Amino acid sequence: MRLFGGWFCIFCISSVLCSGFIAASPWFLITDKNFSTAVPETKTLHRTEVSQKLKDLMGYTLEVKPSQIPHEDAGKGLFLQGEANIGSVIAFYPGVLYPPAYYRYILGYPRVDPQNSHLITRYDGTMINAQPWGAGGESRELWDWTSSPEPKHTMQADEKGSDLDGTHVGGNLEMLERRNPLAFAHFANHPAKGMVPNVMIYPYDFPLLEKDMRPYIPNVPFGNDEETDTSKFGSFRLKTWKSNNNESKVPVLKTLVLVATRAICDEEVLLNYRLSNSEHIPSWYTPVDEED
């Protein structure tokens, strides 16, 4: 499930939205680089309809609604509707991907945390900003994340802030499916005292082997990697990826997903935030265990 869990979810979402069902030969197992499929037309479905159809197909979907965490700052939470087994990919962390070379372009840099609670960093330093994604949308669109409403920020942050200066530097436009029912990992809350998390963060590198599936991966990279010394393929990093004993370098998107650590059934999705900066620990945060 770890190898194809993310792809399986992407494949199911595409089958819900595409007019032609392409499940006869799972596309993520195809190794012939000359193979291509006709780009299917997307169905005219509201986001709630897409979500219900995904639940019918996979056994679960997600809903964002007021959290059950007993704290006034809990706000909205992420809820799983249906049943998911341990090891299932529950949600994608959507948004803009920033490699370390582009941190300075994040709004408010270097003081970004107070302004944005939807920032998260992978083990390799790739930072994901889910704030522009928000709650998704109602269509497939050429997503211009730079036009998303920005949060209010202080004058102090402006004076020492990012290199954006109101411009759209690094804004890569991608055709993305904004109705993606699983692109809500940024709404998962930290468990309250006495509660136990039911998901964990898992770094997932999506190999871009089939362009027709690209709209269902809810992330765009910032910049074009010109400031890095790694190999490049357009806007994406190259990485060795194995498939059926064949090894080749393909472009990947370095993302994060939430994976179920136990069976989940009709309940709120809870993630251990593992906050470590004691100077900025919020009042609602309670460590899950003594090592946190």
Q: CATH number of the domain at 237, please.
A: 2.170.270.10
Summarize the confidence of residues 282-289 as an average pLDDT.
Answer: 86
Bridge-based pairing of strands 95-98 and 219-221 is: parallel
- At residue 195, what is the residue type? M
Residue 190 lies in a domain: yes
Torsion of CA 152, 158, 161, 166, to 10 degrees: 70
* The two three-digit tokens of residue 44, written as one number: 């005219």
Residue 280 lies in a domain: no
Cis peptide before 197 (omega within 30 of 0): no
Total domain count, the chain: 1
Residue 79 lies in a domain: yes
Residue 279 lies in a domain: no
Residue 95 lies in a domain: yes
Quick: pLDDT tens for 97-111.
999 999 988 887 777
pTM exceeds 0.75, yes or no: yes
Quick: pLDDT tens for 10-34.
889 888 887 544 443 333 333 334 4
The rounded percent of the chain whose pLDDT value lies above 70 is 70
* Residue 192, Cβ density class (10 Å: 0-12 exposed, 13-18 middle, ≥19 buried): middle
Phi-psi region of 252 (alpha: psi -120 to 50; beta: other; left: phi over 0): beta
How far is the C-alpha of 188 from the C-alpha of 64, rounded, in Å? Answer: 9
Q: Which domain holds residue 95?
A: 5-273
The rounded percent of the chain whose pLDDT value lies above 90 is 44
Q: Which has more pLDDT, 22 or 273?
A: 273
What pLDDT band is residue 273 in, cutting at 50, 70 and 90?
Answer: very high
Summarize the confidence of residues 46-58 as an average pLDDT.
Answer: 94
Torsion of CA 152, 216, 219, 272, to 10 degrees: 80
How far is the C-alpha of 88 from the C-alpha of 260, rounded, in Å? Answer: 5
The mean predicted confidence, pLDDT, of the chain is: 78
Residue 284 lies in a domain: no
Phi-psi region of 210 (alpha: psi -120 to 50; beta: other; left: phi over 0): beta
How far is the C-alpha of 165 from the C-alpha of 43, rounded, in Å? Answer: 39
Beta-sheet strands, E only, within 105-225: 119-121, 127-129, 140-143, 174-177, 199-207, 219-221
Residue 204 lies in a domain: yes
Whether the per-residue pLDDT at 158 is higher than 70: the answer is no
Residue 292 lies in a domain: no
Whether the per-residue pLDDT at 143 is higher than 60: the answer is yes
Whether the per-residue pLDDT at 87 is higher than 50: the answer is yes
Summarize the confidence of residues 185-195 as an average pLDDT.
Answer: 95
CA geometry: angle at 49 spanning 221 and 68, to 5°? 75
What pLDDT band is residue 173 in, cutting at 50, 70 and 90?
Answer: confident
